[in-house]
Structure 1
């Protein structure tokens, strides 16, 4: 295969890797928790407690993963992550007691810490430099199908192969599909072409603003992924209607990425991120005022806003700081987000127990703080 043909496969391969990685980690326990808990002799609450621990492991490893990307390139990091995911999923599939189950979930956290969007975006920045916005958007678009397809695919596997079989199939997808494709298609980061690195990345006002922006975004996104159907039932929908309306969130996230991908690309990423922070509050306001008839607006607003911010997490560090130390910088500004998301399901659930209105007010308030953080974001001199 010619080098040009291989180059054209980079975005599809990265997108496929993100679909498999998200579906088999971040979105896995949404449908696997109950049978996994029963098979390991514990409760679903223990499963989700372990998942919170996995988010903390992910946060702790994220800065290391960023420096690893800058030193060795995205191909090596993604390949290692595929092996970590496969080992974690195999351990879960074999788990017959709580200790093994918890170990498997925590190992999933290690995979998430080094193997989600960060190294994929770093590959694209190494290849395209400041022109990587469109490729990042394309990979983010494909990765969104990890959420849209992950739950139904895992459910089908559970129904046909059992929950252990589902774990083994996802493990096999990492080893037999993703890993060979990474090595066959992605460039070797050690052979040159990596973004330049010049010393340690230091915090400044812009990075603090980005960290607060994305910490809020991830907190709200994690809270919504855990509680959106329940929130919608509090707004008057039946459980079946709530499940259907919640599905609008994934559809909106995919649709908004398609729009960004099709756009000419001359707009400011900062302005796009600023607009994205207002979409959840707008949907929440419509849903709260309209009640049952307009409850789906909160799912649409959250999905569209989160879709734009997922792209921004890759584009804004590049837009504001350039290629230099991209992997380490992007990982560093997202590290607080990984920590705060661990507490989102519990804390938002406590607020939702009080009332749906208070819950919408809390998540919208966080989005308004994010909105404020977008002011003062300017590219460093010389970019």
Structure 2
């Protein structure tokens, strides 16, 4: 009998994901100008500090993944909420630039402990066989983080300093997220004590054979890194890119179509994509993202073309968030899922930290159009790498079948 998704846990985690992404990620772009001004930095320096923090956070991700497997994702997320509250508080109270960067690194480490990577692992640990659907439901809820927290942050910042806003956000992590994660952790431990060790039937077996897993992981990490490069570079520079293509004041308006499109793609997948394998969904996501970026080149400066880009890119990026959780589970199974997520997250975060600078450099050196062409090509390469994973699985299966037939014949 197929396991049902743990709806109560998904809703609770969805709330913590909205708060986690809203306070630790989406609020930064709104508060960054005030941070730079108070620290005596040029306007772009705060984003440079964020990139350094993302880079260091990426290097810590593999160790965090191992802790998730060893201690349980619930405990790690509980500790992560405490670290998030402490890091946000420290960021608000630090006296100088160096201590600010250190506090920002703490925020990025906390993000790895409480956001999607850890939440996906918790859903896998709660009910492995229902995890793919659970991850889809969770990303649907989490997709509202930007829609909710961009206006909330703007409203708060109109009345408070950025330091006071961060103190409010520290309270949200401490008073809402930490108790939720603690309750989920305790419930998971109680369930394990009542039922004993999970039976083999509760585990999810990966579809990749043992002999193909090393190559499969490299290909998967490469494809996710390429997609993260496209996503991070375009999202950070969306308004400057559109402005550079001649869209002027309408550039910011076009960007508002992105968020709803992400939610739409996740909702559509939840309703109609239940039988679609994660590898095919990953290929669709990569194709949509690459096509969206390329679409800007022949249509600029058309507003209709730019809106089409934002919608298609949002659809692809929304699906990409799902497959980062479901594809590793399908290919490699539920055993060691936290460690696997940590290794993949490291590659993605390192690329995400450097991608915005790379695109900014290319736009200055070779222009917006050629920069978009190369970015789209990176997305197209991700499609080819994902297709190679499918061929790898097919070739290994065919080889094993031939070996079995040969053994039977002898």
1:302 matched to 2:313? The reply is yes
More moved, 160-169 vs 365-374: 160-169
SS at match of 1:295: helix
More moved, 336-345 vs 350-359: 350-359
Describe how 1:165-204 pairs up with structure 2 within 5 A.
165-188=164-187, 190=189, 192=192, 204=214
Native 8 Å contact 1:39 1:95 kept in 2: no
- Aligned equivalent of 1:343: 354
**Cα distance between partner residues in 2 of 1:255 and 1:248:** 11
1:48 matched to 2:47? The reply is yes
Which segments of 5 or more consecutive residues in structure 1 lack a partner in the other structure? 1-6
TM superposition shift of 1:186 = 4.4
**Cα distance between partner residues in 2 of 1:181 and 1:172:** 14
- Aligned equivalent of 2:238: 228
Cα–Cα, structure 1 residues 203 and 339, in superposed 2: closer, same or farther, change >3 Å? farther
1:86 matched to 2:95? The reply is no
TM superposition shift of 1:42 = 2.7
- Aligned equivalent of 1:126: 125
TM superposition shift of 1:9 = 2.1
- Please give the root-mean-square deviation of Cα atoms over the aligned residues, in Å: 2.4
Which one of the candidate residues 371, 376, 380 is aligned to 1:368? Answer: 380
**Cα distance between partner residues in 1 of 2:112 and 2:53:** 9
1:284 matched to 2:293? The reply is yes
TM superposition shift of 1:62 = 0.8
- Aligned equivalent of 2:114: 115
How many residues are matched? 373
**Cα distance between partner residues in 1 of 2:108 and 2:294:** 34
**Cα distance between partner residues in 2 of 1:367 and 1:285:** 10
- Aligned equivalent of 2:254: 245
TM superposition shift of 1:128 = 2.1
- Aligned equivalent of 2:368: 356
- Aligned equivalent of 2:157: 158
**Cα distance between partner residues in 1 of 2:161 and 2:338:** 38
TM superposition shift of 1:286 = 2.8
More moved, 338-347 vs 348-357: 348-357
- Aligned equivalent of 1:3: none
- Show CA shifts across 1:208-244 (max 9, x none): 01100111111111111210001111222123x1111
**Cα distance between partner residues in 2 of 1:318 and 1:129:** 9
- Show CA shifts across 1:35-64 (max 9, x none): 112223333333112111111121111111
Describe how 1:11-26 pairs up with structure 2 within 5 A.
11-26=10-25
- Aligned equivalent of 1:62: 61
Which one of the candidate residues 268, 273, 288 is aligned to 1:259? Answer: 268
- Show CA shifts across 1:185-227 (max 9, x none): 4455555377879xxxx96111001100111111111111210
Larger Rg: 2
**Cα distance between partner residues in 1 of 2:323 and 2:311:** 18
- Show CA shifts across 1:128-173 (max 9, x none): 2133111101111222222232322211110122212210111000
Q: Displaced runs of 4+ in structure 1, greater than 3 A?
A: 185-197, 378-382
- Aligned equivalent of 1:76: 75
TM superposition shift of 1:258 = 0.7
Cα–Cα, structure 1 residues 339 and 284, in superposed 2: closer, same or farther, change >3 Å? closer
**Cα distance between partner residues in 1 of 2:293 and 2:334:** 37
Q: TM-score, normalised by structure 1?
A: 0.91
1:98 matched to 2:109? The reply is no
Q: TM-score, normalised by structure 2?
A: 0.85
Describe how 1:213-224 pairs up with structure 2 within 5 A.
213-224=223-234
- Aligned equivalent of 1:136: 135
Native 8 Å contact 2:15 2:142 kept in 1: yes
Native 8 Å contact 1:11 1:138 kept in 2: yes
